[in-house]
């Protein structure tokens, strides 16, 4: 089944936010790969204990797992870009 216009717009918006977040993290860490990797560890540690209020336990676990996966993808893409482009690191 083809994606609807609304689904395409949603994916585009999420992708744009992910790219923006990567750039902001890069800038906040002074474009230093080690700082980004350290920050990733702290964020992932915090996300590992997150439960989502207002959801039943199963839904909360699923949402928390999806959040961790999304964060991991954002950081992995940023770190991959930083390793490929030596100009990014200061």
Q: Where are the domains of the chain?
A: 5-84
User: pTM to 2 decimals?
Assistant: 0.74
Q: What pLDDT, in 10s, does the model give residues 14-66?
A: 888 988 898 899 888 888 999 999 999 999 988 887 677 788 888 888 888 88
Query: Three-class SS string for the chain?
Result: CCCCHHHHHHHHHHHHHHHHHHHHHHHHCCCCHHHHHHHHHHHHHHHHCCCCCCCCHHHHHHHHHHHHHHHHHHHHHHHHHHHHCCCCCC
DSSP reduced 3-state for 82: helix
Given this model, what pLDDT does residue 50 score?
66
Given this model, what pLDDT does residue 72 score?
92
Given this model, what pLDDT does residue 90 score?
41
């Amino acid at each position: 089944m083809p994606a609807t216009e609304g689904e395409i717009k949603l994916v585009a918006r999420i992708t744009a936010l992910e790219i923006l977040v990567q750039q902001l993290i890069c800038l906040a860490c002074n474009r230093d790969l080690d700082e980004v990797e350290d920050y990733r560890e702290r964020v992932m540690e915090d996300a590992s204990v997150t439960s989502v209020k207002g959801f039943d336990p199963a839904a909360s676990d699923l949402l928390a797992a999806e959040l961790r996966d999304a964060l991991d993808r954002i950081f992995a893409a940023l770190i991959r870009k930083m390793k490929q482009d030596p100009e990014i690191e200061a």
